[in-house]
Amino acid sequence: MTFPGTRLPLRYPRVFLPLAAAAWLALYQSLAPISEHAMSLLPVDRTSRLGGALQFFLYDTPKVLLLLAGIVFVMGMVNSYFTPERTRALLAGRHEGVGNVLAATLGIVTPFCSCSAVPLFIGFVQAGVPLGVTFSFLISAPMVNEVALTLLFALFGWKIAALYLGLGLTVAIVAGYIIGRLKMEAHLEDWVRNMPHIQAGGVNNELGLPERIQAGFASVREIVGKVWPYILAGIAIGAGIHGYVPQDYLASFMGRDAWWSVPLAVLIGVPMYTNAAGIIPIVEALLSKGAALGTVLAFMMSVIALSLPEMIILRKVLKLRLIVTFVGVVATGILVVGYVFNLVL
């Protein structure tokens, strides 16, 4: 470990954790006064456009980053209990239905990187995890992740975060179930089907608390280190929209009365690829200018869950028909979510 002062967490983990939690909380509580103070030092009128944009930027950036670091740390520790190997062992031999629910849920807590999507996919199928169950995992893992949920919570509150969690899981469960029902095993590439079946064994990696804390630090370094430029860029764009785009400007074409806005949002979102970190601050700004929540959520889900680069990688293991089905089923699910949101809220 290269962190300074890592002796304490590793030697006295039970002392370190509550101390760290208290320090984190104190810092989080003092963000609002600190950003107020920083604002008052700047020679900008805060009712001006630039002032509004700056205030948004100065308050949101530290808040989002701090919240993210905290949650990624905790998730890093949680992730160390759910290795891909253990998840696979939990899913192998499950029936559809229960299996889909379990797979989507495990997708939240199993560490996942889109560059590992294919090895993971093959590993699951090889161990006898049903195709539909594998897809439930593959849909939920990138879409319902701690970064997306943290940002939603930080910028919109827990209700929206919970709704996103619930709907994301539902899309993953239902879409995986449908793909499973379609019996498309024949549309796996031949070399994947011909791979020898392997036994999903339990992997022995019982870690102690110090190692889990280390895993937490490692994931903060890795994830926060990777996404912070996206967050800064996202918040900067969001701040610009906040300050300069007129109120309700977007209502006419992203509002809930425009029925075509949801499919359009999904259509635009699919080829786009960025992670949750970059997209959510922009989403917040769009919302505040009159875009409808369902439309915006549909846009966000399709950007995160379906992406062109991922399809190209998946093409190595899936035949075209299965990829098209996968995109079609997931996009339809997201579409329904968008409409339901716009109707209900």
Partner 1 sequence: MKNIKVLGTGCANCKTTLKLIEDAAKTNGMAIALEKVEDLQQIMSYGVMSTPGVVIDGKVVHAGGVPDRSKIEGWLASPD
Select from 81-89, 177-185, 261-269, 287-295 the region that touches partner 1 (CB under 8 A). 81-89
Select from 7-15, 55-63, 107-115, 229-237 the region that touches partner 1 (CB under 8 A). 107-115
288 counts as binding partner 1 under rule CB under 8 A: no
Q: Please work out the total of residues on this chain that contact partner 1, with binding judged by CB under 8 A.
A: 25
* Residue 41 to residue 182: CA distance in whole angstroms: 62
312 counts as binding partner 1 under rule CB under 8 A: no
Binder to partner 1 among 10, 218, 232, 311 (CB under 8 A)?
Answer: 218
* Residue 293 to residue 331: CA distance in whole angstroms: 17
* Residue 187 to residue 97: CA distance in whole angstroms: 21
**Strand, helix or coil at 318?**
strand
227 counts as binding partner 1 under rule CB under 8 A: no
180 counts as binding partner 1 under rule CB under 8 A: no
88 counts as binding partner 1 under rule CB under 8 A: yes
| Cα dihedral 187→189→192→193 (10° resolution) | 50
In order, the DSSP letters of 203-229 are P-----HHHHHHHHHHHIIIIIHHHHH
Nearest residue to 265 (alpha-carbon basis) of 230, 290, 302: 302
323 counts as binding partner 1 under rule CB under 8 A: no
**Residue whose CB is less far from partner 1, 7 or 316:** 316
- Rounded to the nearest whole angstrom, what is the least distance from the CB of residue 319 to partner 1 in the complex? 15
**Strand, helix or coil at 188?**
strand
- Rounded to the nearest whole angstrom, what is the least distance from the CB of residue 2 to partner 1 in the complex? 8
**Residue whose CB is less far from partner 1, 59 or 137:** 137
Nearest residue to 73 (alpha-carbon basis) of 225, 204, 203: 225
168 counts as binding partner 1 under rule CB under 8 A: no
Identity of the residue numbered 273 = Y
Instruction: Output the six-digit token pair for 201.
Output: 């064994």
Binder to partner 1 among 159, 193, 316, 321 (CB under 8 A)?
Answer: 316
The answer to whether 266 and 331 have CB atoms below 8 angstroms apart is yes
* Residue 75 to residue 19: CA distance in whole angstroms: 18
- Rounded to the nearest whole angstrom, what is the least distance from the CB of residue 87 to partner 1 in the complex? 9
308 counts as binding partner 1 under rule CB under 8 A: no
311 counts as binding partner 1 under rule CB under 8 A: no
Binding site for partner 1 (CB under 8 A): 1-2, 83-85, 88, 111, 113, 115-116, 118-120, 122-124, 126, 191, 195, 198, 218, 222, 313, 316-317
